[in-house]
Structure formats: structure tokens, C-alpha cells
Amino acid sequence: MTTVTWHRLTRAIERCRRCPLGHTRTHAVVYRGGERPSVVFVGEAPGRAEDATGRPFVGASGRRLDRAIAELGLRMDEVGVINLVKCRPPENRLPRRSVLACRPFLERQLELLDPPVIVTLGRHALAELVPDAPPITQAAGRERSWNRRPLVPLLHPAAVLHNPKLAPRWAADLDRLGAVLRRVLRQTL
Ligand code: SF4
């Protein structure tokens, strides 16, 4: 990524008031990860901990995600973490209007980060990037594509935390993601 361009994008997000969430946030939540990530995880929206810190996936779901990243054999500077919308929705409901308003920021982030693999977390991120995908319970762990690059949907880590019965499915989907990463990263080395 070009540092100056990324810095400008970050400043634009931090100043943004394109949708009502810009008036209720504490911090815009832009990015966590390395400058040249091999894989970018796309979540839905910041929660309380993220709004307080300005960093994505730093609460309980974030710890689950970080554990998964370590299990995949990746360092934090080899991945990136972003969300569909950059400001916390009150009541944690994701307004469609904000997803649409924030979409240009999402696309610009993905364009600048240019990761070889994208991973969506949860049904909203999947529906936004792959509108014709089946429901997340069917789609998770199965490779798809976004702009001619591999995209692997996963369940949202919060869903796995709230429903421990999903843990075996989460582990199996991570195994499938690991296989995609090994194949793609071998090709791009
Ligand atoms: S959610 Fe996105 S579009 Fe809405 S104010 Fe925040 S940065 Fe702007």
C-alpha cells in the first residue's frame, strides 16, 4: 500500500459524517494489521470495545479471531482486519444506509491493501461482497471469489462464542481456509 494514500484515506474516514453513525461514534474504526497483508478479514461493524479504542476486533470476538489467525500460522502483521462500516451502530444493529454510505471506503481499503485472499466474517460481510452467495451456514468454509481473487466466508466469531456447538464447524472451516491460503500464497511467493 502507498503510505501517503492510506494515511489520507484513514483521515477521510476519521472525519466522515456521511451517515448518522458519524455523529454518535467515539472513534472511527479503520484498520488493524500489517502494511502488506496476505489475507484481509472483513467483519461487520465496530462494537463497544472497538468504538472505545478505534481498533477493529479487540473485544471477545477479536480474541477468538486472533486465536484463529495464530492457528493458521499467520502473524498479525501478515493479516489485516476491517469492517463493512467504520462507526459503531447504536444497539449493534447494522443500518443498510450506513453499509451503502461506507462501501466506497471498504472498496478503497481492499484496493490499497490488495490481499491475495479475503475472508468475510458473518452473514452481513458475505452478503455485501458476494450478493449471490447462499446463507452463511451453507457458504462458510467454501471458497468463492471477489474481483478475481479468492474469498473464503467464515462464521462470525461472535456467533461461535455465543453458540459453542458451532466450534467444530468453525474449526473445520478454518482448516479449509488454511488449505486455500497454502495454495494461494505458494503461487504468489
Ligand atoms: S459509518 Fe462510514 S459512512 Fe458512516 S459516518 Fe462512519 S465512516 Fe462515514
- For the chain, 189 residues long, the average pLDDT of each consecutive 10-residue run is 88 97 97 96 96 96 97 96 97 91 98 97 97 97 96 97 97 98 83
Q: Report the alpha-carbon distance of residue 64 to residue 161 in Å, rounded.
A: 8
pLDDT value of residue 68? 97
Residue nearest to atom 3 of ligand 1 (CA): 102
**Model pTM score:** 0.96
SS3 of residue 127 by DSSP = helix
pLDDT value of residue 42? 98
Residue nearest to atom 2 of ligand 1 (CA): 102
User: How remote is the CA of residue 92 from the centroid of ligand 1, in Å?
Assistant: 14
Sheet with strand 39-43: strands edge to edge: 32-33, 79-83, 39-43, 117-121, 149-154, 144-146
User: How remote is the CA of residue 99 from the centroid of ligand 1, in Å?
Assistant: 8
User: How remote is the CA of residue 58 from the centroid of ligand 1, in Å?
Assistant: 19
Q: Ligand 1 pocket check: which of 105, 106, 109, 128 to mutate, most ligand atoms within 8 Å of Cβ?
A: 105
Closest CA to 129 of 157, 163, 99: 99
pLDDT value of residue 92? 72
User: How remote is the CA of residue 130 from the centroid of ligand 1, in Å?
Assistant: 21
Give the ligand 1 atom nearest the CA of 17: 5
Which residues does a 6 A CB cutoff place in the pocket of ligand 1? 13, 16-19, 21-22, 28, 85-87, 98, 101-102, 105
CA atoms within 13 A on the CB side of 21: 28
User: How remote is the CA of residue 117 from the centroid of ligand 1, in Å?
Assistant: 25
Give the dihedral sign, CA 62/68/70/76: negative
CATH H-level, domain 3-188: superfamily: Uracil-DNA glycosylase-like domain (3.40.470.10)
C-alpha cell at 147: 474481483
